[in-house]
Amino acid sequence: MTKEYHEIDDIIVIHYKYSFGGQSRFFIELKNNKQIMGTKCPKCKTVYCPPRIACAKCYETTEWIPLKDTGEIKVSTLVWYSTSAFIQNIPYAVGYIQLDGASTAINQGIFSDNLVPSKVKPGKRVRAVFKKEREGKITDFFFVPIDEYDDWIQKPEFEGGKNG
């Protein structure tokens, strides 16, 4: 006997006007000044990027500091199958990048004109490239291998930062 069932199409949508709260300064500096910011714990000296306004180890209020836009890949992967929100972007690389001067690593896209595992492997130096049209979101910038940087900032939709 064939089992009986009835299906419908359905969708859930919620609209937000979402505030980044204490982390807002990161996104304001990113949008207005192409400046990547971190926060430093005055006690243990940990430099957080992504920033946090209070240290989880010391329970101290952290201080905002500008970071360089160069850093090192700690680990990465190349994605060849993805969620419905990203499947049109494959293949793409994501990884954790420790910016020069930061103690932690930030998750970010790594772009390359020749996307192979060796281009995005741990230890590789990368530099941030910024979108010209920025909205104050994490996707306003991405990283590229340092030897591709000059090519990427020549592309019409992108530009370099101030602090290299």
Residues making contact with another protein (CB under 8 A):
3-5, 7, 9-10, 12, 20, 23, 48, 50, 74-89, 92, 94-96, 98, 104-109, 117, 122, 137-139
Q: Which residues of 10-45 are buried (b: 16+ CB within 10 A; e: fewer)?
A: eeeeeeeeeeeeeeeebbebbbeebbbbbbbbeeee
Of 121 and 155, which CB lies nearer to another protein in the complex structure? 121
Q: Shortest approach of another protein to residue 153 CB, angstroms?
A: 21
Nearer to another protein, 50 or 150 (CB): 50
Q: For residue 29, what are its two tokens?
A: 């500096």
Closest by CA to 110, choosing from 83, 80, 121, 100, is: 121
Residue among 6 and 156 whose Cβ is closer to another protein:
6
Q: Give the nearest distance from C-beta 90 to another protein in angstroms.
A: 9
Nearest distance in Å: CB 100, another protein: 15
For residue 164, what are the contacts with CB-CB under 8 A and spacing of at least 6?
Answer: 68, 69, 70, 127
